[in-house]
Amino acid sequence: MSSTGFRRALSLGIDRDPINEPFCLPTGTPSSVVAADHTKYNSRLENRRLWATHKLDKANAIQDRIGLDQTDADDYRLRPGGQGRLRLEIITIGGLFPQFMRIAEIIWEPWGKIG
């Protein structure tokens, strides 16, 4: 299983607009983590949005390609070899930024659509 492919699939599974509205007061710009636009390390401006778009079909295709192509009766993806459900855990420190829990809930909902 490719960890890069998995991270990209999860990134494509996030709908960032519902996060921008209440938490960034529509001033945020959805983007990938890349070098600043003006440096020689970022050769293309489209790199900033490459993995920061909400594309469920592409996210599902990536997961299938990296070996997460089996699901159980509830449409949860199974680990390679059918060794049980793939499980993700999100851990936050609530006291630092209490909205992390709400943001995690917003992220979790569309992730359900990619298994």
Cα distances (angstroms) measured from residue 79 to each of 6, 7, 75, 84, 111: 12, 15, 13, 6, 16
Q: Between these two residues, 40 and 85, which has the higher pLDDT value? A: 85
In this model, does residue 91 exceed pLDDT 70?
A: yes
pLDDT at 94: 65
Residues 6+ apart with CB under 8 A from 2: 66
What mean pLDDT comes out for the span 74-82?
86
Separation between Cα atoms, residue 68 and residue 75, nearest integer Å: 12
**pTM, whole model, 2 decimals?**
0.80
Chain segment 34-75, per-residue pLDDT in tens: 777 778 777 676 777 788 889 999 999 999 999 999 988 988
Q: Which CATH superfamily is domain 3-114 in?
A: Dipeptide-binding Protein; Domain 3 (3.10.105.10)
Highest mean pLDDT among 41-50, 87-96, 99-108: 99-108
Give percent above pLDDT 70 in the chain: 95
